[in-house]
Chains A and B, each alone.
Chain A
Amino acid sequence: MIRMLIPLGVFVALIVLLLSGLKSADQRQIIDSPLIGKPVPAFELPQLQQQHLSVNNAALDGRPFVLNVWASWCPSCRIEHPLITRMGREIDVPLVGLNWKDTRPEALEWLDRFGDAWDFHIFDEAGGFGIDLGVYGAPETFLVDHTGTIRHKHVGPVTEASYADLIQRIRNLQDEMES
């Protein structure tokens, strides 16, 4: 009798395994970044607004910053925009935009229309810096510490739920720098 129950047990175990897999399916869409704990890749790119000024890693050295990847063609960037605006008001570290695979006129028009809460924008028209950062879709938000190391990556639009977590992480990075 007990031996007859073995296949049933295996079956139930399989069902449980598959159901638990279904539950975490959404999270598995998100690719863990191998860049966490690694330095920000080297870059040298123009700014979006002041195109004659270029930015590189050194410009951001010495304190934590937020790097927010966006583009005017990206609908989810519109969704997170109010929270990014709020973040720009609430944090004491630079909020840097990475305008990715966009055109300058369209990006500038987008900022005019919706508002510009970032400190400045890096203009990555060809998308090369994005690839170096392992960006696979805008928006993505990176937190970088004062040594230039990537410490956290948020994929997709910042939501009410993830906003508090991001703010807390930014504060932790500031504390780390001061201690």
Chain B
Amino acid sequence: MMRILFLLLLIPVTLASSETWAQNSPIEALEFTREVDEKRYHALLKELRCTVCQNEPLDSSNAPLAADLRRQVYVQILDGRADFEIRDYMRERYGDFVLYNPPFAGHTLVLWLGPIVLLLAGLATGAVMVRQRRQMLRQSARN
């Protein structure tokens, strides 16, 4: 019970900090003529990693290089380039690492399929154990 209360107490703190974070967003105010472009811009900034400060996406990084890369995304959107072209632009320079969603390829198979394999293994183990437990119960009931 105490633990739940404690967790509840934490909620307003996290909400408050995410709010100030939003206010201090480092993103420059930019003009877009089309709303869809603005949405694409913000979506791309969320999926591209700031390569200097490696645990931040471009949309929350204060690093000067992140500002330059945001500028690149902006200019390329205005130039009418597609999302995949902009992603490729970044990948050609910084590698797969710049993408928060790594591509599905040979060297990332473990990354993508690993959790599914682990989940299936867990389910299988659980199923075997339940079945054994049932058999034991049945046998003891018979005795």
- What CA separation (Å) do A31 and B99 show in the bound complex? 12
Q: Are A137 and B65 in touch, CB under 8 angstroms?
A: yes
Q: Which residues of B contact A33 (CB under 8 A)?
A: 95
Question: Per-residue 0/1 for B35-65: is the Cβ within 8 Å of any A Cβ (1 yes, 0 no)?
Answer: 0000000000000000110100000000011
In the complex, the number of residue pairs spanning A and B with C-beta atoms less than 8 Å apart equals: 38
Query: Which residues of A are found within 8 Å of B51, using beta-carbon distances?
Result: 31, 136-137
Which of the candidate stretches B2-10, B12-20, B86-94, B135-143 sits at the interface with the other chain? Answer: B86-94
Residues A131 and B72 in contact in the complex (CB < 8 Å), given A101-B64, A136-B52: yes
Residue numbers in B under 8 Å from A137 (CB-CB):
51-52, 65
Where chain A touches its partner, the secondary structure class is loop
Chain B residues with Cβ under 8 A from A29's Cβ? 54
Residue of B nearest to A34 (CB): B95
Interface residue from A35, A131, A133 paired with B69 (Cβ < 8 Å): A131
User: Would you call B85 an interface residue if the criterion is a C-beta within 8 Å of the partner chain's C-beta atoms?
Assistant: no
Q: Is the CB of B94 within 8 A of A31?
A: yes
| A: contact size bracket | 10 to 19
Number of B residues with CB within 8 Å of any CB on chain A:
15
A31-B51, A131-B65, A134-B95 known; 10 other A-B pairs, CB under 8 Å? A29-B54, A33-B95, A34-B91, A101-B68, A131-B69, A131-B72, A132-B93, A133-B93, A136-B65, A137-B51
Complex A-B: 17 CB contacts under 8 Å: A29-B54, A31-B95, A31-B98, A34-B92, A34-B94, A35-B93, A101-B65, A127-B65, A131-B65, A131-B68, A131-B69, A131-B93, A132-B93, A134-B93, A134-B94, A136-B51, A137-B52
